Structure 1
Amino acid sequence: MKQHKRKITILVIVLLLLIGFFLPLPFYLETPGTAESLSKFVTVDGKRDRRKGHYMLTTVALQQARPLTYLWSKTQPFAETVSKESLMGGASNRTYEQMQTYYMQSSINDAITVAYRRAGEAYHKKYRGIYVMSLLAGSKFKGHLAIGDTVTKIDGHAFKSAQQFINYVKRQRVGQKVTVTYTHKQQVKTTTQALVKLPGTKRPGLGITLVDHSQVKTDIPVKVNVGEIGGPSAGTMFTLEIYDQLTGGKLRRGRKIAGTGTMDAKGNVGAIGGIDKKVVAASRAGATIFFAPDDPVTKADKKADPNYKNNYAVAKAAAKRIHSKIKVVPIKTFSDVVNYLKK
């Protein structure tokens, strides 16, 4: 009898452990991630950056919450719970991952553009077409086009922007068939399907979410391979790594320099999420400088949240909270980054 009870107890314990480790909860956990040396991601003119010190991109770790990891998160000062809706905005997991891949590639293109322009080196931006981000359930192109495909022509017409594409489709009618030329896994294909009425409008459309898909070509070859890292937040640090390699590596001077922020093609730095966690990751990796977007705090921001603080303020508070000596530097443009490092 005692042996039987012992077996039941063991089974209950095993079951509870399995539930604790594997039962998914309906939200995610965000915690400090890593600070990764950019030298392993970027090559310029076929060479890696082997100079002393590092430029580092910083990440936020994201994982599906489980009962035990959720309890653990309550003991961690920089752990947050995030709903799937607020994280993905209603997108499916596949669409969200595709969006993150697209945003990363776009940020790399803009980083190359800004770095080469400032270094005075030649670059050429080539418009490739319309990138398919998602397909509506009622789209006639569903099952033909796929997320990640690039639409290059409609009825034999090529366009130079997503807006030109939209304007052309607007002039057609619901139910009319159009022929789409597109690239799927590097293969050129065509499909002819009917336009549908877009939800909430009377306008015709393919029933896809679309964005511009461009590519930057350079005379001095540059390659950026980020693996599974997604999103646009490393744009500023990619720009810095590429620029410093192009100009002889005179800015770093042996230091470990981390940071974050989006980068647009004009050299403007944009705000990102989870910056407090990125400061923690950078400090743990030994960085002495952390570049943080100094995004403007608008009246609308304060109205929506009276306690709103911009990226720079949150980053400074995080450094203070962990008693780190890391220098948090506010930046609005790539010029701010270069000018600071030249001091």
Structure 2
Amino acid sequence: MNSRIRFRSFLIILILFAISFFYHLPFYVSQPGIAKELEPIIHVEGGNDAKGALMLTTVRMGKANIYSYLLAKWSEYQKIYPEHMIKEDDETEEEYSVRQLQMMEGSKDAAIINAYKAAGKKIKVSYDGVYVVNVLEGMPAEEKLMPGDRISKIDGIKFTSSKQFIEYISRKQEGTTVSITFTRGDTNMTERVMLKPLKGTDKVGIGITLVDDLKITTEPRVTIDTDQIGGPSAGLMFSLEIYNQLTKDDITKGYKIAGTGTINENGEVGPIGGIEQKIIAADKSGADIFLAPNENGAKDSNYRAAVKTAKNIGSDMKVIPVDSFKEALDFLQTLKPR
């Protein structure tokens, strides 16, 4: 009898443990990821090799269960984020993943543009429309569009930038119906959508967040294989790796150089999340230098947080503040070869 009671008690405890393990809280937990060398995943035809390495850095981000939440509470370098800080209002997991991957694509495009222009190489950029990365609940696009759809025309009109696209829509009146031409997978589709006011603004819209769909032609050709890595934070390091393969002088000078930061088509470097975890990842990889967004010297900048973390963990890495692709290049060109 006692053995039966013990077995049932054990079984109940096991079931409760399994339920608590798979029950997700409305939080995300981030922790140090990896520092990954870029030369194996970026290939410029006829590109030059480096003696050192340029590396992107990542964080591991996942939904919190009871155990990961408690562990993060007691860990100095794991962070807990409320769900609304990670995902947009009413955004599904699928939409979040699509948004991250599309931001990565935008990051690649900006990196290629900056690197080729700086290296004086041939590049042609054309605008092919916009990608839908999120559809807002209760807005006209909800029943018509999906994350990943590529919109090519509005009312039969092609645009040369997403700015023109947004301006065209915003000039119209509430209740106006527009025709949206888009591609879903391999299928071309057209839907009619009535415009509604956008929450918190005095403008109307269809209720999507978007990124540009750019077609970039380069000489020599470049390919970037990021698999399922998402987000825009590797933009700066992509730019530097592409530039290094395009030019004869090796900007690594034999050093292992990690870093992070978004980049736009003008070469401006922007802040990212998880800088502390990325410093730890870079230090574990043996990086000599870490390039961190300076945010124009802001007191709470990524750079200042990176310096503090490097000091706290006793790292020998040299942390360098950068506000632009040019600043990063200028610094690397001052390094003495190893």
TM-score (norm 1): 0.88
Instruction: Tell me which residue corresponds to 1:301.
Output: none
For residues 139 and 86 of structure 1, the distance between their equivalents in structure 2, rounded to whole angstroms, comes to 21
Task: Supply the AA of the counterpart residue of 2:42.
Answer: V
Q: Is the 8 A contact 1:236 1:334 kept in 2?
A: yes
- The reply on whether 1:309 has 2:300 as its aligned counterpart is yes
For residues 193 and 73 of structure 1, the distance between their equivalents in structure 2, rounded to whole angstroms, comes to 45
Matches within 5 A, 1:1-343: 1-45=1-45, 51-90=50-89, 91-170=91-170, 172-199=172-199, 204-248=204-248, 250-297=250-297, 309-343=300-334
User: Identity, % of aligned pairs?
Assistant: 39
Q: Is the 8 A contact 1:138 1:196 kept in 2?
A: no
Q: Alpha-carbon deviation of 1:113?
A: 0.7
| Aligned alpha-carbon RMSD (Å) | 2.4
Q: Is the 8 A contact 1:51 1:249 kept in 2?
A: no
Distance 1:247 1:11, change over 3 A: same
For residues 40 and 25 of structure 1, the distance between their equivalents in structure 2, rounded to whole angstroms, comes to 37
For residues 240 and 203 of structure 1, the distance between their equivalents in structure 2, rounded to whole angstroms, comes to 39
Q: Alpha-carbon deviation of 1:125?
A: 1.4
For residues 171 and 242 of structure 1, the distance between their equivalents in structure 2, rounded to whole angstroms, comes to 40
Q: Is the 8 A contact 1:32 1:79 kept in 2?
A: yes
For residues 204 and 296 of structure 2, the distance between their equivalents in structure 1, rounded to whole angstroms, comes to 38
For residues 300 and 200 of structure 2, the distance between their equivalents in structure 1, rounded to whole angstroms, comes to 36
Task: Supply the AA of the counterpart residue of 2:313.
Answer: I
Q: Summarize deviations over 1:136-183 as a string: whole Å, max 9, x none.
A: 444444443222212111222111223323343345554444322212
- Give structure 1 stretches of 5+ with no counterpart: 299-307
Q: Alpha-carbon deviation of 1:263?
A: 1.2
Q: What SS does the aligned partner of 1:26 have? A: strand
Q: Is the 8 A contact 2:269 2:293 kept in 1?
A: yes
Q: What SS does the aligned partner of 2:39 have? A: helix
Q: What SS does the aligned partner of 1:3 have? A: helix
Distance 1:322 1:126, change over 3 A: same
Number of positions where the alignment pairs a residue of Structure 1 with one of Structure 2: 333
For residues 88 and 204 of structure 2, the distance between their equivalents in structure 1, rounded to whole angstroms, comes to 25
Task: Supply the AA of the counterpart residue of 1:21.
Answer: F
For residues 171 and 129 of structure 2, the distance between their equivalents in structure 1, rounded to whole angstroms, comes to 19
Q: Summarize deviations over 1:258-289 as a string: whole Å, max 9, x none.
A: 00011111112111111111000000011111
Indicate the larger mover: 311-320 or 190-199: 190-199
For residues 201 and 333 of structure 2, the distance between their equivalents in structure 1, rounded to whole angstroms, comes to 53
Q: Is the 8 A contact 1:124 1:216 kept in 2?
A: yes
- Give structure 2 stretches of 5+ with no counterpart: none
For residues 163 and 220 of structure 1, the distance between their equivalents in structure 2, rounded to whole angstroms, comes to 30
Q: Alpha-carbon deviation of 1:334?
A: 1.5
Distance 1:315 1:121, change over 3 A: same
Q: Is the 8 A contact 1:46 1:222 kept in 2?
A: no
TM-score (norm 2): 0.89
Indicate the larger mover: 179-188 or 315-324: 179-188
Distance 1:340 1:74, change over 3 A: same
Q: What SS does the aligned partner of 1:296 have? A: helix
For residues 10 and 93 of structure 2, the distance between their equivalents in structure 1, rounded to whole angstroms, comes to 37
Q: What SS does the aligned partner of 1:229 have? A: coil
Q: Summarize deviations over 1:41-93 as a string: whole Å, max 9, x none.
A: 2111176x754432110011111112222233244320111110112232332
Distance 1:193 1:320, change over 3 A: closer
Q: Is the 8 A contact 1:19 1:67 kept in 2?
A: no
For residues 80 and 104 of structure 1, the distance between their equivalents in structure 2, rounded to whole angstroms, comes to 22
For residues 194 and 22 of structure 2, the distance between their equivalents in structure 1, rounded to whole angstroms, comes to 45
Distance 1:45 1:31, change over 3 A: same
Task: Supply the AA of the counterpart residue of 1:254.
Answer: G
Q: What SS does the aligned partner of 2:303 have? A: helix
